[in-house]
A and B are shown apart, each in its own frame.
Chain A
Amino acid sequence: MCSLALFPPPLPSGQTTLCESNNELLRCAVLLEQMSCSYIYQLMSFYINSPLSCAVVVPKWLSVSSGCTLALLRWFSSFHGSLFPHLTVTIHLIIRCFDMLAEFSQVLNWSDCVVRAFAWHPHTDKFAVALLDDSIKIYNPKSATTPTLKHRLQRSVAAVQWKPLCATALAVACQNCLLVWHVDPCSLSTRPSSGCAQVLSHPGHSPITSIAWSPSGSLLVSASPMDTAMMVWDVASESGVPLQRVGGGGVTFLSWSPDGSHVLASTPSALFRVWETRMWTCERWPCVKGRCQSGCWSPDGSRLLFTVQGETVIYALTFTDTPGSQAAAVVADLSETTFNTPDGDIIVGGEIQSLAWDPTGERLAVLLKGDPQAADRPAIIAVFKTRTNPIFELLPCGFVQGEPGTEPRLMQFHPNFQHGALLTVCWSSGRITHMPFYFLSAGVPHFGLSGSPSLPRPQERPADFAKQSLFTELMS
């Protein structure tokens, strides 16, 4: 079992992680934008500048004002609670919605985070970023325009996700409803009208904290901690089927396995379910300590890694065709470990905020919560190498650190990075960085075209495919 003690120590202050190459994490002491893009694949050469500017401006007044409003509401409710009990309920609901979103979001400190949600498109190099002011921007390196999506119902965005096998549709989990935007990639408009958005809502199904598209692009599931039912939407016909089971009280986090066969649904209590998507039946998995905080699937959908609130370990569950009682195995221990650095001792470890597994199944990124009050316990991303043969195990790779004074809030792997894995991290400063991990895949069976594992150099890949033609005989 892997533990943090095996990791190389964190970087000294002022240095940032750049990328992984030749099996080690490279670092540099200069700021990222001054780096030449020599190693960096041209995709990563665009850093987002516009959200940065708004990032500096927006949180100042918005977070302060929203904090004040919340405090005012709380005070008001405590003061007037006895006089107007019906008012209290609504005010409590408002506060609870907001707290709930912050509590169950995969983003660390969601409420004051500049980037509230982030999503790579599953097939192309474009991504959507939801900002603190509830607008969503779409960045595409091949297009000069960055559309900004705004809608009057688009409030408190907790998650965004692009529809697979589609170029246009983006699902947005909002406070009261689910929006599905249709953004034409060829359109030159920078402000798509709200007519481009489908609104999906179901009574009692709010706030929505998590959404997941089926990998085949046909269905969308959404979850709300206030609703015991999980909704399965047929987006085109705007009809939803509630799937309800006794126990748990709400659904907080959803994750659809990449092969489409299972859906992880965690509840606010110490219980999570794994749905099988053919007939929509579920297995119950009670946890001992707390609720399931985060989870991720291996690329072939056979293995689930998850973390439990209040524990500092990563569990693994294996799904095989033969049903039977099994228990989750601990695969990594992330309890607090002290590292000696030139700047003093740093304590790394503790509770886990979120997990991300790259699409090749070789790198696992773990966002550790840290302690915002203590300077020597920063939030940090620990990256593991994963190996499935002969047995499944996690090996240490290293820590990913940003500029001094910033902490990682949200991370996601690029869905189809050709040369290994590409981790995108959203920092507390509002900066979004892309961190490549260059490696050769060790022969994990891949989906789609990336089926040949042993290519000499990633750069020669397209040429190889051009030479070999699949079609030996053409129809006349």
Chain B
Amino acid sequence: MLSAEQSCWFVRKVIFWRAVASIAWAVLLLPPITAVFVIISRFSLLHPIQAVSECLSFLTSASAIFSFILLCGVIIMVGFLNLEYYTVIPTIACSKIALLGQLLHPRQFVNSLGHCIMGIIVAWCCAITVGGRYETIADPCAQGDGSPQMCLNEYHLILLLAGAFVGFSHSLLGVIYNMNYVSFHTVQQYKYLRFKGSLSLVLKCSATQALYSVRNYIVVYFFLGYIPKAWICKTLNLHLNSSVHPLDSIAGLLDLSLLYHLWISASFLLFTWHLTLLLFRVFVTEVYSFPVQSSFTEDAHQCLPTVLTDKQPMILKFLALLDLALLSQHSPSRRSEVFSLSQPGGHPHNWNAISKECLSLLADLTQRLIAYHDTVATNGRAKSLSTGSERKTSSESSVTSGTEDLMSPRPTLLMKTPASVFARSIVGCPQSPLTAPFTPDLDSPFASPALRRLTAPMDQCSPWFGTVQSPHIMRRVPKLWSTSTDSQVNGSPLASPASVPSPKQEPSKPSLLAQFLQNRKEQLPEASSQALFADSQAHIWALEGLSYLVQSSFSEDQFGVVQTALPSILSCMLGLQEAVDRHFKLPHASSKPVRSASSMGDSTHKTLRFALRATLKTSIYRITTTFGNHLNAVKMSAEHRKRLQQFLEYKE
């Protein structure tokens, strides 16, 4: 399933090595962190010198070295999972059902299981490190009749289970807070400085998250602790020591030293993992400078104009757009390459490719916004949410159907709308139209058969794929299940937006479960707006890149290659501006998200729409201030001219 990605030179040559470097740094940082952890966990105020000497002797012992090797293995594993699960487009669950679907997805299950096991391993290392009563799972104890036998050491067990619990909750929180989402910073800094700047935040996050996890764990253990205890005793043939308090009691859990050790171990676990994640983010989002043009044809696929048009992997497209935004802003020599003409023929291939790709990105977003707005405006579902009174009737939807779904096929490659965390698992078939952000995850156990049937067209192997269907049939699916326009497959201009259900199922009504799901669907109104702009970082860079290039073309473009594209650039931006303005008039679209102060999850995606709106305005202003009244000579529609006049007069 990864064949499409592995074949990409960029993943092989750049992303992979960046991930390896980040893992190597994480492993290198492990010894000092472990040393600090040993000191903190063993330190005692009463005998400081003795504690320090004990720590030193422990650090050189064989068991410490063994557990250290285990920890290294865990870090490498975590780094690998980061590489496997990362995404540059966040998955935004539009409803609680969708979120639940994500949490129960098989791929997520594997992830959680992996984290559980790694949590147990780390906790075992912690138990060895803390030593004392935590060290072994079985203790010799004397029963009532005086015969020695092996009893279960519950302190050891509680620590191991805590590791599993923290690992599991870490993996769940990762889905909820989009921890696998890698965001790009507006402020470019060197890797070391970025790492240093985020270090304190990571420490704080780990400590607080460990605190909450341990609190939850204790509650769980209090109620359910007897189950693993009995199971372990049975499997390992151990006895319960009746002479000590059981730990799943209030008295047993009110042991401050135990709580402290649980917390410090959980913090250590989370800190090492978060640190690996931070290093991965820092390394993978580093700017990569693509050559604008190459004199060798075999390198042509690595040049910026070619790379920009690639659809997969997304990270490549994002880094290419970032590079475009930076070169248009900072480097005159590379800009001149963009404006240059091809040697035989004299065509501005570089500029044409770049501008075409950026414009198609922006046009895609415009279409998406218009379609969303139409959906909301026509079938009134957004309203029914807030008021709860209106319900969409099928007659309404059939009346208002037809227009947006029959939208003419767009000429260029469109970036897919974000699918799911698991997007990478369905990338395999390049033909498959990817799920729109609002479609529930089909692989999730929550997708009922009816649901599957309705969204079945995603399956490109269906015999009906690609055949022209009546608009009446095609209408229903996007109406019911997606609030955004659907992605378009490249090279199949006749294919209508993704969904083409088989006619056999057309008369069948959605099942009760599906209706129930639909009603639960848009519980998070702001989320649909967020999902619409989930990949807007790309649009922001496209806007910046275009506007800076146009600005510098005023003085640097010798052959006037930019001039010819100016009308289309302006009309594209103004059209987008109109669509964005309309979108922000919708309820919930302009409400600010609550800021989560301390979490490793990146909440940048929640504010991307505001960033896009600001960048869009700035970009148009950048062009209007540079060209001023010359723009009156540019041909455009009367409506756009009116809007442009507003910009020229600084009234927007």
Contacts and interface: CB of A to CB of B under 8 A. Distances in A.
B630 A217 contact: no
Given A165-B617, A241-B186, A471-B630, 16 more contacts: A165-B621, A236-B607, A236-B610, A236-B614, A236-B615, A237-B608, A238-B595, A243-B187, A279-B189, A449-B627, A466-B629, A470-B633, A471-B563, A471-B634, A475-B564, A475-B635
Given A165-B622, A237-B611, A279-B188, A465 B633 contact: no
Contacts of A186: 651
A123 interface: yes
B626 interface: yes
Interface in A231-261: 232, 234-239, 241-244
B625 A235 contact: no
Interface in B621-647: 621-622, 625-630, 633-635
B567 interface: yes
Contacts of A471: 563, 630, 633-634
B84 interface: no
Contact of B618 (A216, A238, A465): A216
24 contacts: A121-B650, A123-B621, A165-B617, A166-B617, A167-B650, A167-B652, A186-B651, A216-B618, A218-B618, A234-B186, A234-B611, A236-B607, A238-B610, A239-B604, A241-B186, A280-B188, A449-B628, A469-B633, A470-B627, A470-B630, A471-B630, A473-B564, A475-B564, A475-B567
User: DSSP majority for the B interface?
Assistant: helix
A450 to B, nearest CB: 10
B482 interface: no
Contact of A123 (B614, B615, B625): B625
B193 to A, nearest CB: 7
Interface in A280-310: 280-281
Interface in A422-476: 448-449, 451, 465-466, 469-471, 473-476
A280 B193 contact: yes
A241 B197 contact: yes
A124 interface: yes
B580 to A, nearest CB: 12
Max chain B Cβ within 10 angstroms of own Cβ: one of A237, A239, A469:
A237
B197 A236 contact: no
A392 to B, nearest CB: 24
Nearest to A445: B555
Interface in B567-624: 567-568, 592, 595, 604, 607-608, 610-611, 613-615, 617-618, 621-622
B357 to A, nearest CB: 19
A241 B193 CA distance: 11
B260 interface: no
A217 B621 contact: yes
Interface in B294-328: 326
B25 to A, nearest CB: 20
A278 interface: yes
A47 to B, nearest CB: 23
A255 B266 CA distance: 45
Contacts of A32: none
B391 interface: no
A461 to B, nearest CB: 11
A281 B635 CA distance: 44
Given A185-B651, A475-B635, A219 B329 contact: no
A263 B4 CA distance: 45
Interface in A192-228: 216-219
A154 B585 CA distance: 28
B330 interface: yes
Max chain A Cβ within 10 angstroms of own Cβ: one of B566, B567, B617, B628:
B617
A448 B625 contact: yes
A469 B621 CA distance: 20
Contacts of B613: 236
B190 interface: yes
B245 interface: no
Interface string A140-161: 0000000000000000000000
User: DSSP majority for the A interface?
Assistant: loop
A124 B646 CA distance: 13
Given A236-B607, A239-B604, A475-B567, A465 B635 contact: no
A220 to B, nearest CB: 11
Nearest to A470: B630
Contacts of B629: 465-466
Contacts of A448: 625-626, 628
Max chain B Cβ within 10 angstroms of own Cβ: one of A123, A241, A471:
A471
Nearest to A281: B190
B650 A241 contact: no
Nearest to B568: A475
B320 to A, nearest CB: 18
B650 to A, nearest CB: 4
Given A166-B617, A239-B607, A280 B651 contact: no
Nearest to B630: A470
Given A166-B618, A237-B604, A278 B630 contact: no
Contacts of B627: 449, 470
Nearest to A474: B635
Given A237-B611, A241-B185, A279 B190 contact: yes
A237 B615 CA distance: 11
Contacts of B190: 279, 281
Interface string B329-344: 1100000000000000
A59 to B, nearest CB: 33
A280 B191 CA distance: 12
A471 B566 CA distance: 10
B592 to A, nearest CB: 8
A278 B330 contact: yes
B187 A474 contact: no
A168 B652 CA distance: 7
A221 to B, nearest CB: 10
Given A123-B625, A470-B627, A474-B635, A238 B187 contact: no
A165 B618 contact: yes
A278 B289 CA distance: 14
Given A237-B604, A470-B627, A475-B564, A244 B650 contact: no
Given A166-B617, A278-B188, A123 B630 contact: no
A439 B326 CA distance: 37
A276 to B, nearest CB: 11
B621 A166 contact: yes
A175 B186 CA distance: 26
A241 B635 contact: no
B86 to A, nearest CB: 20
